[in-house]
Amino acid sequence: MAIDSITYWWPNPGYKLKTPKNLQSMILSPERESNKTSEILMGFDRMIEAQCHANKVNRSRINFNVEYVLGSESVMLGLEVNNLPFRFILLPPKDSKSGHNDVYSNQELVTIFNSLIYHPLLHEIILRDINLFELQIQPGPKRHKGRNMLGSVLYDILLSNPRLVKLDLTSCGITSETVSIIGQAFMSGQSCLECLLLSDNPITREGAQALASGLTGHKSAIKELDISNCKLTHDSIEYILHALDTNDPSKLEVLNLSNNMCDLESNILTELLSKTISLRSLNLRNCSKFFIHMITPVISIETLGNTQLTTLNLGGVSLNDHNHINALYAYIQSPAFAKLRFFNIEDCNLGGEMIAIILSYVTTSPNSKKIRVWAGGNHITRTLQGFKELCNAINNNWTPTWLSLRYTMFGSNLEMVNDFLQTFCENSVIKYLDLSYPYFNAPIASRVTKTVNKACEVIGKVFRENQSIRELHLNGDSERRFGPSLSISLSGLKDNDTLEKLYIKGNAIGDRGALSLSEALKSNRKLKSLDIDENEIGIDGYSAINYVFTSGSNLSVKHFTYPIQDLETYENKRDLSFNPPTIKRMALEKEKRKANLRRVLDEIMDSIKQFNNFDSTNDAFNE
């Protein structure tokens, strides 16, 4: 049945079915559904089931999805099911009865991989975050001559699937030996892979060299390569870049080299990028050392001017060098920058004046209303003049409509923090703003407290006066946050008629903040989405919010993030240093109170769900 269920979409199978005549009449044809997609999924599932029986593996633990590759040419052109591309995604195993076995055994993995061989409709195989390390300790079949088991099955998959174009092995525990075998598969001339993702797998010099040799001899040009956070040395990364440069670099669309903190002793990166006329995404986050020895800056017009970049991530790269910052200014003003949609310059050691210039240049670009800019983590108060220039730029609307300034270093100067946040009261362009995880530092704790209190006071004013921001993020953690003082600021939401989404998790606003928010929600008619988790809010706070929804005082909120963390940590800090009977009684009382909080939270979610159902019914009626 497993074989028969896939033959209709497998015109040239790699097998011959031979059965005795007396058994042929007994073969049962599987039930067919009229939906072709369902038939394909059913066929694939039966292949897995057949392999499980053959290898004595529990099928119920194997967890995967098979789906269309959305946006592919085949889907857009409306081709028949026999030509539609599919993606296989391996998911963590389903819960076992013991509840602790959350990784696949080698036998289970071999069963899964054997089911992926000879599948002409599979275009993508996604194994991201699945632990495959143990399978590399097991030797492969004798015909693979010393290869490990994982390398052997990947080699077979790459050579047996003529339409397989993408393999995602991110965070799979891949060793350099397996990477070398992938390089050997490329060298065979039978693989058609175009996208290879190896992120978060340490690759040695030998592994990189073997992969580079494979890329050089590969019959298909690589369109996407992710070797981020692979602990590559300078010679390892140069091997791979040279290989990409020799095999039609004009086809390269996505290149991720981030978090490889090594030097580049040649200009190979700039030479390669100058030829990548199809490049859409470039990620060089935390690759500062790449920029040290280059004669031509990576971000120059000469290097990136001919690309099709829509995503450029330079986060963590120190750009305050004269040559690099001027090259960046020139690039932003070029026609090539107008194609960009995602631009990251976080933690780039930039001062206020540099950020001001960048934002003002972005504003003059045709894509200013479409681009998303991340510019946080920089030293906006490094110099007074630079700080004033940045404030002036924001005040005068020289900003994109989408701006993230998370992790910004505010310092502890009360007046500067006040002046900076005040600019957002005046700005009428920004629609999305992220000020999460602010950094306030001072040698005296009381000074920091005063500065934070002032910051929260101004945020309350932003709530009341700003007329453009639709989405605002003010999230925090134990070290970087606006903190409990944000509670009072929330009252400013009463008068806000523009903000639709608010995210304030991790600020420890407690019940006091929740009560302030509940009062504001009684008047606010614009807010649609709220996330207030991780705020140490208890039953009093959530009960107040619950009353607002259940009483019908607020019908505008459509999405309320379930506060999992607040529920889990509720009353965890209570002192249980008593005798055993007392501890047992207190534990029971604690569980009872937590159950009451869970009931309140469920009522909140039910109320919002009813609002949404009511609105859907009205929309249908109006249509």
By the 10 Å C-beta count (0-12 exposed, 13-18 middle, 19+ buried), 97 is classed as exposed
The phi-psi region of residue 605 (left if phi > 0; otherwise alpha if psi is between -120 and 50; otherwise beta) is alpha
Q: What percentage of the chain has pLDDT greater than the value 70?
A: 86
- Whether the per-residue pLDDT at 384 is higher than 70: the answer is yes
CA dihedral of 97, 99, 101, 107, whole degrees rounded to 10:
20
* Residue 448 to residue 479: CA distance in whole angstroms: 12
Side-chain half-sphere exposure of 543, counting CA atoms within 13 A: 8
By the 10 Å C-beta count (0-12 exposed, 13-18 middle, 19+ buried), 524 is classed as buried
N-term to C-term CA, the chain: 48
| pLDDT given at position 29 | 46
Instruction: Tell me the one-letter amino acid at 200.
Output: D
Residue pLDDT, tens place only, 386-415: 999 999 999 999 999 999 999 998 888 899
At the topology level of CATH, where does 417-623 sit?
A: 3.80.10
| pLDDT given at position 101 | 63
Q: How confident is the model at residue 7 (pLDDT cuts 50, 70, 90)?
A: very low
Residue pLDDT, tens place only, 456-514: 999 999 999 999 999 999 999 989 999 999 999 999 999 899 999 999 999 999 999 99
The average pLDDT across 362-370 equals 95
- Whether the per-residue pLDDT at 586 is higher than 80: the answer is no
Residue environment code for 589-612, b if the CB has 16+ CB neighbours within 10 A, otherwise e: eeeeebeebeebbebbeebbeebe
Mean pLDDT of all residues in the chain?
A: 88
By the 10 Å C-beta count (0-12 exposed, 13-18 middle, 19+ buried), 40 is classed as buried
Cα torsion angle, 582, 583, 588, 592, sign: positive
| pLDDT given at position 27 | 47
For residue 100, count other CB atoms closer than 10 A to its CB.
7
pTM to 2 decimal places: 0.88
Range in 84-88, 100-104, 129-133, 561-565 with the lowest mean pLDDT: 100-104
* Residue 48 to residue 53: CA distance in whole angstroms: 9
The average pLDDT across 269-298 equals 91
Alpha helices in 85-233 (DSSP H): 106-114, 149-160, 176-187, 205-217
